[in-house]
Amino acid sequence: MTKKDQKIRCPECGEVELIRDYERAELICTNCGLVIKEKMMDFGPEWRIFDKEQTKERVRVGAPATYTIHDKGLTTVIGWKDKDIYGRNLPPIRRAQIYRLRKLQRRLSVSDVIERNLVFALSELNRMASHLGLPKNVKESAAVIYRKAVELNLIKGRSIEEVTAAAIYAACRQCKIPITLDEISEVSRIEKKNLGRNYRFLAKKLHMLFPPANPIDYVPKFASELGLSSKVQNMAISIIKQASAKGITFGKGPKSIAAAAIYIAGMLMEERRTQKQIAEVARVTEVTIRNRYKELVEKLDLKTL
């Protein structure tokens, strides 16, 4: 926590204690569970720092090796000035030498097509991840997934953007971050269906079959976008739990279930939101919410709640 964080108060209840959820990139109130800031950037240091000594030490180590830079950030850079370390001009022979070295290094560092594509892909990946406000660990796993895809020659016949976007989606699934294909397709130029196809292809080839997303994961996200209290969230979650215990949720879209549960919880807790509002944040149609909601009410006997 930096000083800046401590000055932020929860607008709902005035609570000062806030927690940062780096996994979800959210700033959350410890008292009422309100998500104050979403999609925040991760400005923190790479490692945890425990005392002043370490602050100095850790700052001095430089940037950590990262998969999001094509050579993992381990390049040597030859300066462009023809001066030595004392600032004197170099003799002509030395200058020619350095010139050749620079030229060589330029070619070596981004030599073949694969490397050049990797540079492009990773910059795309960084761009998209920033737009989506994804935390660093997700970016890293997306980069790792992309690298694996390159190794296995899965890029052929697919555009770099497609695979990059799919890698991000896969990374989010892996890190249990609720995200929709729509959200990714908004920040890339890839259509949703294309994205889904590529994701499945990647997942299959890389043997990363993730269990279908859990509706509960979507609840905090949707609820905070709708400005609903934590009471409604808890109610929605308990509805989902009951539903999945009865096997109603099986085979249904997780977003639909979460949306319907929030709708019901909102009505029960007198924090009603219209189907349209919920449909918008959940990115499903009102009709779907209605169908799920009808089903839930029927099978869970919610009149007793």
Positions touching DNA (CB under 7 A) are 193, 196-197, 200, 251-253, 256, 272, 274-276, 283-288, 290-294
CB atoms within 10 A of CB 259: 30
CA 14 remoteness from chain centre: 28
For residue 246, the minimal CB distance to DNA (Å) is 14
**Contact in structure between 236 and 258 (CB atoms under 8 Å):** yes
What's the number of CA atoms in the CB half-sphere (13 Å) around residue 51?
Answer: 1
Report helix, strand or coil for 20.
strand
Residue 145 or 282: the one with the smaller Cβ distance to DNA is 282
In the complex with DNA, which residue's Cβ is closer, 115 or 225?
A: 225
Q: Provide the 8-state DSSP code for 304.
A: G
Q: How far is the CB of 247 from DNA (least distance, A)?
A: 11
In the complex, least distance from residue 251 CB atom to DNA, rounded to whole angstroms: 4
Least Å distance, CB 296 to DNA, is 12
Q: How far is the CB of 262 from DNA (least distance, A)?
A: 12
CA dist 303 and 305 (Å) reads 5
How many whole angstroms separate alpha carbon 25 and alpha carbon 14?
A: 21
Name the one residue in this structure whose structure tokens are 């279930």: 257
Quick count: other Cβ atoms within 10 Å of Cβ 102? Answer: 14
Is the Cβ–Cβ distance between 40 and 26 less than 8 Å? yes
Task: Compare residues 68 and 256 and give the one whose CB is closer to DNA.
Answer: 256
Complex with DNA: residue 1 or 287, whichever CB lies closer: 287
Q: Are 154 and 202 in contact (CB under 8 A)?
A: yes
Nearer to DNA, 123 or 214 (CB): 214
Using the minimum distance from each CB to DNA, give the nearer residue, 81 or 193: 193
DSSP string, 40-75: ----S-SS---SHHHHHHHHHT-SPP-TTSTTTT--
- Within 8 A by CB and 6+ apart from 266, the residues are 226, 228, 232, 272, 273, 278
Q: How far apart are the first and last CA of the chain?
A: 40
Contact 183, 132 (CB under 8 A): yes
Residue closest to 179 by CA, chosen among 145, 146, 133 = 133
Measured from the CB atom, the residue of 122 and 258 that comes closer to DNA is 258
Nearer to DNA, 127 or 205 (CB): 205
